[in-house]
Amino acid sequence: MTPSTPEVIVVAPGFFERVGEVICRIAASRSEPETVHLLGEAKKHLGADAAVFCSFLRDETAQLRFMLACDPGWIHEYERIVCASHDPWIMHASESSEAVCGSHLNIQSHAQLEALSLARRFGFESTLIVPAPSSGGAARLGLLVLGSRREGFFESERYTALKVMARPLAMELHGWWVAQSRRELVMRAKLTDIDLELLRHLHRGLSSKQIANDLRKSTNAVDLLVSRLTAKLGVSRRGAAATLAAAYGLI
């Protein structure tokens, strides 16, 4: 029996090294502009014409945040005419962790077609959609979309190599953004060490009495701390505080 011929990965010499080097630099990035610049570098090494990374909370797409390595006109038009809850890219990332070509998405509505039509005008004729889920079932998700003006670019023989490198790129961008969001929330809400400890207890579903025993405080003192904490976070219930903390990777 003749052995099967292994699949040939058609990429330029040094492809994996160049993309991998940029991915490693993202982990050390100290600012959003620097990270956006690195996304642009990775896009070029991957042979794409456009790229966008977004971060959002599961079931709360109104809280979308973007990093763009594409014509900025896309985001202005996107915010004007696209409903995020009907965005086929986001819908895929909300339901699956698999990287797919845009041509494989199941498009079912006019709103979805409108979103894709807009994207094509800005360099996303062919697309690779790469979800970046959080560990432990956390609510915050990431999504990298690479675009090419060349029809069928991501459906070509390059697909395997592009997918292999796009996945760690998406995950590194997601990890960077989760850490950035966590720092921003701590600074914005002025959370203290005792606040963070209290959030960990709340996430475990402990009562005020149980928390009081662990922290060696009175039940009334714990209730006061919880009240102040929910006010800092802008939520009305302790359960909502714990959920928010988990979404932002605080616990």
Candidates 157, 148, 160, 133; CA nearest to 49 is 148
Write phi, then psi, for 132 (nearest 5 degrees): -135, 90
**For residues 138 and 246, is the Cβ–Cβ distance under 8 A?**
yes
Token pair in block for residue 58: 């599961």
Average pLDDT of the residues of the chain: 89
How high is the pLDDT of residue 184? 84
Q: 121-160, pLDDT tens digit by residue?
A: 999 999 999 999 876 556 778 999 999 999 999 998 889 9
How high is the pLDDT of residue 150? 95
Distance CA 203, CA 182 (A): 16
- 190-247 is classed CATH 3.90.850.10: no
Distance CA 189, CA 198 (A): 14
Give the chain's residues under pLDDT 70: 1-10, 59-63, 135-138
How high is the pLDDT of residue 22? 97
How high is the pLDDT of residue 138? 60
How high is the pLDDT of residue 4? 45
How high is the pLDDT of residue 236? 87
How high is the pLDDT of residue 137? 52
How high is the pLDDT of residue 116? 95
3-state secondary structure of 69: strand
How high is the pLDDT of residue 2? 46
How high is the pLDDT of residue 135? 67
Looking at domain 15-180, which CATH architecture does it have?
2-Layer Sandwich (3.30)
Residue 225, burial from CB neighbour count under 10 angstroms (0-12, 13-18, 19+):
buried
Q: In 50-204, which ranges are E strands?
A: 50-57, 60-69, 100-101, 126-132, 140-148
How high is the pLDDT of residue 117? 95
- Break the chain into its structural domains and give their ranges: 15-180, 190-247
**For residues 249 and 178, is the Cβ–Cβ distance under 8 A?**
yes
Q: What Cα–Cα distance (Å) separates residue 201 from each residue in 56, 212, 241?
A: 25, 10, 11
Neighbours of 59 (CB within 10 A): 8
How high is the pLDDT of residue 109? 92
How high is the pLDDT of residue 61? 57
State the Rg of the chain over Cα. 21
